[in-house]
Amino acid sequence: MSEETPVSDNEAVDGLAGTLRGTLVRPDDEGYDEARSVWNGMIDKHPALIVQCAGPADVISAVTFAKEHDVPISVKGGGHNIAGRAVEDDALVIDLSPMNSVRVDPDAETARVEPGVVLRELDHETQAFGLATPVGYNSTTGIAGLTLGGGWGWLSRKHGLTVDNLISADVVTARGELVHASEDENDDLFWGLKGGGGNFGVVTSFEFQLHEVGPTVLSGPIVHPFDDARAVLSGFREFAASAPNDATVWCVIRHAPPLPFVPEEWHGRKVVILATFYAGEMDEGEQVLRSVRDIGEPIADAVGPHPYAGWQQAFDGLAPAGNRHYWKSHNFDEMTDGMIETFVEYGKTIPTPETEIAIPHLGGAINDLPVDATAYPHRDAEYIMNLHTQWEDSEQDEECIAWARDMHEAMTPHATGGVYANFVPEEVGDQRAAYRENYDRLVEVKNEWDPENLFRLNHNVEPTK
C-alpha cells in the first residue's frame, strides 16, 4: 500500500480498532510475524492489517472497512490452504482463528462449529458423544477452508463429503450483512458454499450433521517394500473394486518414516503403505480388510483397534507446519495398468524423504449424489492422486516443483480433467477444473452475492456484472 492509503492512516485504522472486540494487528506490532504465518512455509506474505476476530461483529467491521477503503480482503481459518490464500501482501486479513467454539447437540446429532476450529478440535468435542462428521485426514486443517472446498476423508465413502453433511451456515456478505443459508433460506448461497470456496462471503458458523462413529475403530497402516509396488497397487485396485462403503484404503508411496511400528532397518527406505479404515463393526471389518492384509509380504502391519480421534491425527507429524509444500492433483474414474506403471516410475525418483504420492480411494456415498447437488462437482472420481511434494531447503524449490509438475503431466492422459479445489497450489488458475460443470451456476451466485468481487483472494469465480 502507498502512504496515501487508509491502511497507513492512523486515524482510520484506530477507528477500525475501536469497533472490535478482537485484536487488530499492524505490521509494527510484536505478534505480526506469527499472525501472518501459515502452514505452508513457502508463503511469505506481508498483509497491511490483520483483524483477529472474536465474533461475527468483528467480521462485519472488517468487511465494511475494507470495502469502504478499497483494501483487498483475505480470510484465514486454519491457514492450511496449500496456495496460502489466507494471507496476501497489502491486504486486510480477516483472521477467524480466535473463533473456535464447538457446540454439540448429542440428541439431534448435530454440531454448530465456528470457522477457526481445526479438525482435531471438532473431533475432540464430537467424540465425547461417540459422534463425528466426515472431515479431512490432517487434524491441523481448518474446518472452514476444508468445508468450503468440499471436504473428504476417512468417513466419506460411508457418509459423503463434509458439505454433504452441512445443514446450514451463517455468512457475512459483501454488503456487510449477516445472513443465514440453508436449504430453506438463501438456498442459492447455501448451494454455492458447498464446494465453491470463499467466493461469496465469510462464514462465521457452520452446522453439521453428525453420525455414530467410534470411539474405537479398526484402522492402521500396512507397509510393503517399494520393490513390490506393482503387486501392491494391483491388489489395492482389486480390493477397491468391490469394497463396501464402510471400508476405505489409501495407497501411499514414500520413504518410510521412523514410526515405532516400522522396523528400524526400513527407516528412510522407499515403501508402499496401504492405510486402512473401517467405519462399521470391528468383527465385520476384520473380515473385510483381511484381503488387503493378505496382499504380498508386508514389512509391518499395524491394523487394529484405534481411537477414531487418534487415527485422525496419525499422520499429522508427516506434514509439519513450516515445511515447504507444493501439491499437484488429479481425479480418476478408474486405475489402469498404465497408471500403475507411472506410479512406479515416478516413485523411483521421489525428490525428498518427506514427499509422497498419495492415492486415496473415494467413490461410495460421495458419488451417490448428482453433479449439480452441490457446487463441488467431482461425483465421478473413484481415485485421487495428490503429489504431496515437501521439503525444507528453499534451494530445492525448483527441483521439487518440477518433479511434481512432470508427474502430473504424465498422469494427465488417465485423468478426468477435474481437480479438488483444496489441492490447487497456484494462486490463480484451474477454476474450470475445480468447478467443472457447475462453474456457470457459481458465476450466477457470485453475481447475486458479490458482484464487485470483494472476495477474490481465493480460487476465484469472477462475476459478470
Query: Is residue 4 within 8 Å of residue 49, measured between CB atoms?
Result: no
- The SS3 call for residue 133 is coil
Read off φ and ψ for residue 391, nearest 5 degrees.
-160, 175
Sign of the CA dihedral 254, 258, 261, 263?
positive
Query: Is residue 123 within 8 Å of residue 107, measured between CB atoms?
Result: no
Predicted confidence at residue 6, as pLDDT, reads 60
Q: Are strands 92-95 and 73-76 parallel, antiparallel or unpaired?
A: parallel
Alpha-carbon distance 375 to 100, whole Å? 26
Predicted confidence at residue 5, as pLDDT, reads 55
Query: Is residue 416 within 8 Å of residue 381, measured between CB atoms?
Result: yes
Alpha-carbon distance 310 to 322, whole Å? 23
Read off φ and ψ for residue 41, nearest 5 degrees.
-65, -10
Query: Is residue 267 within 8 Å of residue 257, measured between CB atoms?
Result: yes
Q: CB under 8 Å to 93, separation ≥6 — which residues?
A: 35, 36, 47, 49, 50, 51, 74, 75, 76, 86, 87
Predicted confidence at residue 8, as pLDDT, reads 59
The H or E element containing residue 59 is: helix 56-69
Q: Which domains does the chain have, with CATH numbers?
A: 6-95 (3.30.43.10), 102-212+437-449 (3.30.465.10), 216-423 (3.40.462.20)
Grid coordinates representing 128 are 465425547
Alpha-carbon distance 357 to 73, whole Å? 34
Question: Could you tell me which residues are beta bridge partners of residue 95?
Answer: 52, 76
Query: In 15-72, at which residue ranges do the beta strands (DSSP E only) sit?
Result: 23-25, 49-52
Q: Which residues of the chain have pLDDT under 50?
A: 1-4
Query: Is residue 267 within 8 Å of residue 298, measured between CB atoms?
Result: no
Q: CB under 8 Å to 83, separation ≥6 — which residues?
A: 40, 424, 425, 426, 427, 459
Maximum alpha-carbon separation in the chain = 69
Global confidence as pTM: 0.95
Read off φ and ψ for residue 127, nearest 5 degrees.
-70, -15
Q: How many CB atoms lie within 10 A of CB 177?
A: 12
Helices (H) and strands (E) in the chain, counts: 15, 19
- Single-letter amino acid, residue 89: D
Cell numbers 518433479 correspond to 403
